[in-house]
Amino acid sequence: MAFARRQQSVIPGFGITLGFTVFYLGFLLLIPIAGLLLYTAQMSWDDFWRAVSNRQVVASYKLSFGASFIAALINLVFGAIVAWVLVRYQFTGKRIVDALVDLPFAMPTAVAGIALVTLYAPTGWIGQYLDVFGIRIAYTQLGVVVALTYIGLPFVVRTVQPVLEDLDKEVEEASAIMGANRLTTIRRVILPALLPALLTGFALAFARAVGEYGSVIFISGNLPFRTEITPLLIVAKAEQYDYPGAAAIGTVMLLTAFVLLLIINGLQWWTSRRYR
């Protein structure tokens, strides 16, 4: 408390900004979440358990969380490389590439989904060649990963970019002078500095992918037990006026995502302390 008061005296506006933050978060986040929990609370424990542990629902959790995790991992690796290229090298068209990265944010997800399925369907531009080798992307779980990778692309790039910009080249040079080879420099000098930002980007991409609906339903094929994502099941429940059932699955998703994000944030906090 003493800490807060001291802050207040140096930087004015603590009371009003905190008040606004609480109101803002309450209005935008807590009230809808409370509504979700309220709907769920109408169910008995048995009904709740039956709704969320049904075999079809469990299969969809596996796909939703699994594909989101893989997509976030892909973005972690390639997002870091894109950020590296954009920060460290000068080349013509750099600004355009930089702007392109944000495109998945701006494009309506349904448009993205239709575009992806046009490319990857067995008759599509890319899909017809992959089909020759027996690789199917559209209407398989692979298609779900592709869509989720697409929508999560900007997160890692945008979180890593500013950190990389702040990282002085001199540090790398010092590392080289002290006899480290390139791999060691990356492993011991650059990666530790980037790790917190990488984790944040990973967490954001993952969270975004878990909730994604619009683009996935076009490319996944939506076969129950195989390519059906959890958000689609929630829509299906709502379509049958089973609002408590929909809310129950929503609650499970929310809690799982929250716990996973908490773990990732904890990791991030831990790494940023460790390498300070």
Which residues would be at the binding site for other proteins (CB under 8 A)? 51, 54-56, 59, 117-118, 121-124, 138-139, 217-218, 221-226, 232, 235-242, 245
CB 74 to other proteins: min, Å: 24
CB 223 to other proteins: min, Å: 5
How many Å apart are CA 89 and CA 163, to the nearest integer? 15
CB 233 to other proteins: min, Å: 9
Contacts within 8 Å (CB) and 24+ apart, 107-111: 108/214, 109/151, 109/212, 109/213, 109/214, 109/215, 110/214, 110/215, 110/218
Tell me whether residue 31 is exposed, middle or buried, using C-beta atoms within 10 angstroms of its C-beta: 0 to 12, 13 to 18, 19 or more. exposed
CB 150 to other proteins: min, Å: 18
CA-wise closest residue to 245 among 30, 65, 31, 54: 54
CB 61 to other proteins: min, Å: 15
Residue nearer to other proteins on the CB measure, 117 or 257: 117
CB 54 to other proteins: min, Å: 8
Residue nearer to other proteins on the CB measure, 90 or 240: 240
Angle at Cα 143 formed by Cα 210 and Cα 202, nearest 5°? 40
Residue nearer to other proteins on the CB measure, 55 or 276: 55
Alpha carbons within 13 A on the beta-carbon side of 245: 18
**List of E strands, 158-197:** none
How many Å apart are CA 189 and CA 168, to the nearest integer? 11
Residue nearer to other proteins on the CB measure, 55 or 95: 55
Structure tokens at 254: 């929310």
CB 214 to other proteins: min, Å: 11
Contacts of residue 116, Cβ cutoff 8 Å, sequence gap at least 6: 138, 143, 146, 147, 150, 215, 218, 219
Residue nearer to other proteins on the CB measure, 235 or 263: 235
Residue nearer to other proteins on the CB measure, 17 or 56: 56
CB 53 to other proteins: min, Å: 13
Residue nearer to other proteins on the CB measure, 110 or 171: 110
Q: How far is CA 147 from the centre of its chain?
A: 12
Structure tokens at 118: 């046009």
Residue nearer to other proteins on the CB measure, 192 or 224: 224
